[in-house]
Amino acid sequence: MLNLAEQIIPKKLSKKQALIINEIADKLPIYLLEGNLTSFTDGFDPDLNIYNIEKLLRIHFILTEKTSEGGLGVVDFIRNLALKLRRIKAIANPRKNVFDGEIKGRVNWRHTIKLRNNYSPTGDTLFVCEMRERTYDIPENLVLKKILQIIYNIIFEDLGKLIEKKKKNKWFKSWSGIDHRKLTLAEELYQIFHKNIHLKRISLEDIK
């Protein structure tokens, strides 16, 4: 007779996904009987600290990789991230600014005359100038940074203890293994998230 783990693991799962599910499967009967996640997660590696299904799904999300059908996963996305960021798009937005006694950009005389009339007779030195400002805060870039923020939080918050202790879990090898650049994928993500000049130009301040 197949054990519970063998019964619930679909054949299409990768070995890494199966490792996680194998650990979970033996505790599923307890979870189902008790009806809560506390008993379900008792006995897990404390460094993994899984306390709900949502967190488990988040961890599964960052383990996804390229499939035989050609679909890319999060691991592949991060591996190609540095190259993608070098090609990031920006747009130039026109912006009007008021200057007193100096000119920057192109003078908009219609708005300048209107402004001076409003401040007459002391507004003779005012200029309304049009300047083109490059901005990286376009929808596709905001989505990109938000996704990276989610991935970053999963790696360094949900799995922070694994990163700190540099544990060599087989299912986490894609993130904790050393590549040809002598960095783990987690370390590469950390450097990009905090130091990449292109990413720094994208602001999520107004994004919830």
| The predicted structure's pLDDT at residue 94 | 85
Token couple for 44: 């897990």
Instruction: Scan for tokens 């360094």, then name that residue.
Output: 156
d(CA 78, CA 204): 20
- The domain locations on the chain are 52-90+137-208, 91-135
Tell me the whole-structure pTM to 2 decimals: 0.63
Give residue 49's pLDDT. 55
Would you say how long the chain is, in residues? 208
User: φ and ψ at 127, to 5 degrees?
Assistant: -135, 135
Distance CA 128, CA 114 (A): 10
pLDDT at 156: 92
In the chain, the amino acid numbered 77 is F
Q: Regarding beta strands 106-107 and 91-100, do their DSSP bridges make them parallel or antiparallel, or are they unpaired?
A: unpaired
- Check residue 159 and give its pLDDT: 86
Note down pLDDT in tens along the chain; length 208 residues: 333 334 333 445 556 555 655 555 554 444 433 334 444 444 445 555 555 667 777 888 888 888 766 677 889 999 989 888 988 899 988 889 999 999 998 999 999 999 999 998 888 999 999 988 888 988 889 999 999 999 999 999 888 888 887 767 777 888 888 766 688 899 999 999 999 999 999 988 876 6
